[in-house]
Amino acid sequence: MGNPNVGKSAFFSRLTGVRVIISNYPGTTVEFTKGYLKLGEEMAEVIDVPGTYTLEPTSKAEEVATEMLKDGDLVIDVVDATNLERNLFLTMQLLERDIPVIVALNVWDDTKHRGIHIDVKKLEQLLGVPVVPTVAVTGEGMKELVTRIHEAASPPVSHRTRDERWAAVGRIIEQVQTVTHRHHTWLEHLGDASVKPFPGIPIAVLVLLTSFMIIRFIGESLIGYISEPLFNNLWAPLMMRLSEFLGSGGFLHDILIGKLISGEIDFIQSFGILTTGLFIPFGAVLPYVLAFYLVLGFLEDLGYLPRVAVLLDTLMHRLGMHGYAIIPTLLGLGCNVPGILATRILESKRERFIVATLISIAVPCAALQAMVIGLVGGEGWHYVAIVYGTLFVVWIILGLILNLTVKGFSPELLIEIPPYRLPSARILAVKLWMRILGFLKEAIPIVMLGIFVITILYALNVFDYIANFAAPVVSGLLGLPREATAALAIGFLRKDMAVGMLGALSLSANQLVVGSVVLAMFFPCIASFVVLARELKLKGMLVATGIMIAASLVVGSLLNLIL
């Protein structure tokens, strides 16, 4: 257990490795992580409890953290040694709970850089529990902590009031900690600068643009040099042999291989389970998702994201949120599913509804972005800029409208800003591996199911009926050919796949822009839709769906008129 931003996740990963299980706490949507640690001849179950500042909960995550105390045999209290006074308040509460505690003084290396001196032996004596200095990123102190786990103690401490706890913390700090003067490091100067409007906003723009360029460079490189050559040179010949074996046609052929385009397999348009069904998630989407999560993990571990939250707090409040909502929004740029799930860190129901709705409408996932960049970018990069610019304007305007119309409150931003730290390559790799596995588990079954359903619907001419029914809207308001109706319908299964279908319709550049924006704003993919229903409940999901349909039709019609 520990406060947010004390290095708890890195600490947990050091104890358990990469074989972990992510679960929802029973009866809630709050996630926790579980792993295993070998203690002598026994295997101990280790649980990473959601970060909390107090055992007097103010949010659902803190409620779960408090409730989970009943399930544990002992608590490893991870404390940020550079913020000892603030962290010890939770320690005081834990000592009152009659459960064995061992304290890990994490980020120990930073105390030396900051001129902080802590008498560990004295602190251990005053608390009555073992105290071990650790640096989770490098592994320093972890072995000593594991060997001392059996010393975890539950000293007799009576329940105190909030003021009494803070008074006790103050007395401890006076006896164990001294701070000496030292000059700021360049990282600390940069940290101060990045939360001020100037130069913070130019820095944020530079960071986001650089991140976008790096993601695009890594994604395109992985596709151009690895995934496409593998599929075209190795997988395509095997599929052509299977196609010949199946007779180059028929129902089973259409399910497994899809339609041949000019006698060849087209991994975007064939729509077979073994062709498009594998290429979309592995060949076209995974490279961009991998690149996005690599950059996101770097910014997280560097300590930059909380500074963006502070910097954007005023803007976000005008949209009915506080600055920390930028974190789910950025996650949504990788995949809407974790973005919507991350809204549970927000305190009010109103905020969660607004952020989840805006993510579903105006935040394109990495898979969709990959297809938009590849398809629309081929017509010119200014068209890509129109797509992104439109979605950003929609995000702003729709946020302002929701702020005025959705009842409830948006609390002030109370967030801990960690110091800048150079990320650990090992921790980055572990986090990237876990996120990629989560993406593949979520995406592949749905893509396979989507391809199968699409093939069946094509065989039954269902899309022809849909196209006829929706033609007045699609052709009249949006200026798209009636064949684009099928792509809009398929967007409910996979938006990236739907944009790929637009590429086969010989659309003009302006029509591609309209189609891409409408697809981005229309129903989220089925995985996001399911998560949206779970997070917002049935009523909230239906309201959000109505907003999506209305907003996508209005914006698509306006774009069609303007372009």
Task: Outline where 406-490 has alpha helix (H).
Answer: 425-459, 462-471, 484-490
**Which whole-number Å values give the CA distances from 535 to 175, 339, 343, 473, in the listed order?**
47, 11, 9, 31
- pLDDT for 178: 94
- Classified as helix, coil or strand, 118 is strand
- Token pair in block for residue 247: 């007779």
Tens-digit pLDDT profile for the chain (563 aa)?
A: 999 888 888 888 888 875 666 666 666 556 788 888 888 788 889 999 988 999 988 777 888 889 999 889 999 999 999 999 999 999 999 999 989 999 999 999 888 878 899 999 999 999 999 999 998 877 788 889 999 999 999 998 888 999 999 999 999 999 999 998 777 777 777 877 887 788 888 998 898 888 878 887 888 899 889 999 999 999 999 999 999 888 877 778 888 888 787 788 888 667 778 887 788 778 877 887 788 889 888 988 888 888 888 788 777 877 877 777 887 888 788 778 778 877 877 777 888 899 999 999 999 987 788 888 888 888 888 999 999 999 999 999 999 999 889 887 666 565 666 778 888 888 889 888 888 887 777 666 766 676 677 767 766 777 677 767 777 888 888 988 877 887 787 777 667 778 877 877 888 999 999 999 999 998 777 767 777 887 888 899 999 999 999 999 999 999 999 98
Q: Is the pTM of the predicted complex or chain greater than 0.85?
A: no
Assigned fold of 8-182: Rossmann fold (3.40.50)
Q: What is the C-alpha separation between 292 and 281, in angstroms, rounded? A: 15
DSSP-derived secondary structure for 172-193: HHHHHEEE---PPPHHHHHHHH
Domain ranges of the chain: 8-182, 197-562
Q: What angle do CA 6, 420, 323 make, to 5 degrees?
A: 75
Task: Kindly compute the dihedral angle of the four CA atoms of residues 516, 522, 524, 526, in this order, to the nearest 10 degrees.
Answer: -110
- Token pair in block for residue 529: 């839709």
The residue whose two tokens read 């949209």 is 319
- pLDDT for 342: 75
- pLDDT for 23: 65
Largest alpha-carbon pair distance within the chain? 83
- Taking Cα atoms as reference points, which of 314, 302, 306, 106 lies closest to residue 197? 314
